[in-house]
Chains A and B, each alone.
Chain A
Amino acid sequence: MSPPERPDRAGYLFAFGAATAYGANAVLNRAGLERYGAPLAAVVVALVAGVLALAPLAWRPERRAVGFILASGLCAIVGYSASILALSLLPVVVAAPISGAYPLVTVLLARLFLRTEERVNRRTVLGAVLVVAGVALVTLGR
């Protein structure tokens, strides 16, 4: 699948929709964990809710795709669990900028493994660097 020459606007709307949901969740998560604690239990409850809500949409998928998606889900949980561990051991002003560098990891891996499907040019790389630097400053500034 070759990359589209002009990414559609719906893609950007979805991206900002995801950022909005994640940003709002960060606020809700903080409030919930302050009140109830047990962060891993919180993750399990949230995942169960998501699985139940999406179960009606499940049907037999193409086998080749399943492995990638399952690995994607496991990587996401590894990331989340590792970030919780980091935050329990380090001040947030140290842990958050390090874990927040994940766009740079994606850019590097996309350049290495998705060459035929995605165009990663200098603007994409510089944009990712600026976003990561900006998030680090935002974290330090709070």
Chain B
Amino acid sequence: MLGIFAAALAAVGWGTDAVLARQGLRRIPPALGTFLSLCAGLVGALIALLIVDPGGLGRYPPSGFAWFGLIGLINFLVGRQCNYNATKRLGAARSVSLFATSPLISILLAVGFTGERPGPTLLAGVALIVAGVVLVVRS
């Protein structure tokens, strides 16, 4: 039950994020909005880290810091900046539906680089995602 609640809380958190960002981005540029949201997220993450896994950072070798630092640049410098720019231009409802296609990108990367072969269920999912994107873009 806790797991179901946590998964639902994740959906509520991410879903609410976009609507709040839309309101904030009415008055400030996306780059500044990204910076402020990261600062807030960093405070929350540090608190969570100190409570759940206080020794977590100490276990990382330099290569681990470099790896996740790169992920931070991709995810926040590129991803969230694009996120906030899209939210400001398209609105929260339309843009979030497009962000949610990211698993499709993961699948394409997996197929392209690891030779993973998609089965019928996965292909049906891809078709639904594409259909959904078309509807959102034309809405």
Of chain B, the residue at the smallest CB distance from A3 is: B91
A138 to B24 CA separation, bound complex (whole angstroms): 33
Task: Please judge, given known A-B contacts A27-B110, A90-B3, whether A46 and B72 are in contact too, CB under 8 Å.
Answer: yes
Residue of B25, B122, B135 contacting most chain A CB atoms (<10 Å): B135
Q: Which listed residue (B3, B14, B77, B128) contacts A137, Cβ 8 A?
A: B128
Q: Are B16 and A105 in touch, CB under 8 angstroms?
A: yes
- In the assembled complex, which residues on chain B have CB atoms less than 8 Å from the CB atom of A132? 100, 132
Q: Which listed residue (B75, B91, B137) contacts A21, Cβ 8 A?
A: B75
- In the assembled complex, which residues on chain A have CB atoms less than 8 Å from the CB atom of B49? 40-41, 43-44
Q: Are B129 and A76 in touch, CB under 8 angstroms?
A: no
Q: Are A79 and B67 in touch, CB under 8 angstroms?
A: no
- In the assembled complex, which residues on chain A have CB atoms less than 8 Å from the CB atom of B136? 123-124, 127-128, 131
Q: Are A18 and B11 in touch, CB under 8 angstroms?
A: no
Summarize B's interface: helix, strand, loop or mixed. helix
In this assembly, does A8 line the interface, its C-beta being within 8 Å of a C-beta of chain B? yes
- In the assembled complex, which residues on chain B have CB atoms less than 8 Å from the CB atom of A40? 45, 48-49, 52-53, 56
A113 to B57 CA separation, bound complex (whole angstroms): 39
Count class of interface residues, chain A: 35 or more
Question: Interface readout for B80-123 with A: 1 if CB under 8 Å, 0 if not?
Answer: 10110110111111111111111111111110000000111111
A-B contact count (CB 8 A): 482
Count class of interface residues, chain B: 35 or more
CB contacts under 8 Å to A, within B1-44, are 2-4, 6-28, 31-42, 44
CB contacts under 8 Å to A, within B51-73, are 52-53, 56-57, 59-61, 64-65, 67-73
A64 to B28 CA separation, bound complex (whole angstroms): 10
A34 to B134 CA separation, bound complex (whole angstroms): 35
A100 to B22 CA separation, bound complex (whole angstroms): 20
CB contacts under 8 Å to B, within A75-92, are 75-83, 85-86, 88-90
A52 to B123 CA separation, bound complex (whole angstroms): 40
Q: List 20 A-B contacts (CB under 8 A).
A: A18-B102, A25-B74, A28-B70, A36-B59, A38-B60, A46-B68, A65-B33, A74-B41, A78-B13, A98-B7, A100-B100, A103-B93, A107-B93, A110-B19, A123-B138, A130-B128, A130-B129, A132-B132, A137-B128, A141-B121
Contacts A44-B42, A124-B97, A135-B129 aside, 12 further interface pairs with beta carbons under 8 A come to: A23-B102, A28-B71, A73-B36, A73-B44, A86-B9, A98-B11, A101-B15, A102-B14, A126-B135, A131-B129, A131-B133, A134-B104
